Amino acid sequence: MDSEPLIWRRIQVPGDYSFWDLHVAVQDAMGWLDCHLHMFSMPRPGGNGVAHIGIPDEDELSQDPNEEPYTELAGWEEKIADWFTPDNALASYEYDFGDGWIHGIELEGILPRDPDVFYPRCLDGSGACPPEDCGGVPGYYRMLRILADPSHPKRQGYIEWLGSDFDPLDFRPEEVEFDDPALRFFIAFST
pLDDT value of position 68: 57
Q: What is the pLDDT of residues 17-48, one digit of tens each?
A: 999 999 999 999 999 999 999 999 999 988 78
pTM of the model: 0.90
| Domain extent listing, the chain | 8-128+174-189, 130-170
pLDDT value of position 174: 97
Least confident of 52-66, 81-95, 163-177: 52-66
- Show contacts of 48-52: CB within 8 Å, 24+ apart: 51/83
In the Cβ-directed half-sphere of 59, how many Cα atoms lie within 13 Å? Answer: 0
- Residue 59 predicted with pLDDT over 80: no
Calpha distance 31→132 (Å, rounded):
9
The CATH number of 8-128+174-189, from 3.40.50.12280, 3.10.580.10, 1.10.260.40, 3.10.290.30, is 3.10.290.30
- Residue 70 predicted with pLDDT over 90: no
Q: What is the pLDDT of residues 125-160, one digit of tens each?
A: 999 999 999 999 999 999 999 999 999 999 999 999
**3-class DSSP state of 106:** strand
* Residue 158, Cβ density class (10 Å: 0-12 exposed, 13-18 middle, ≥19 buried): middle
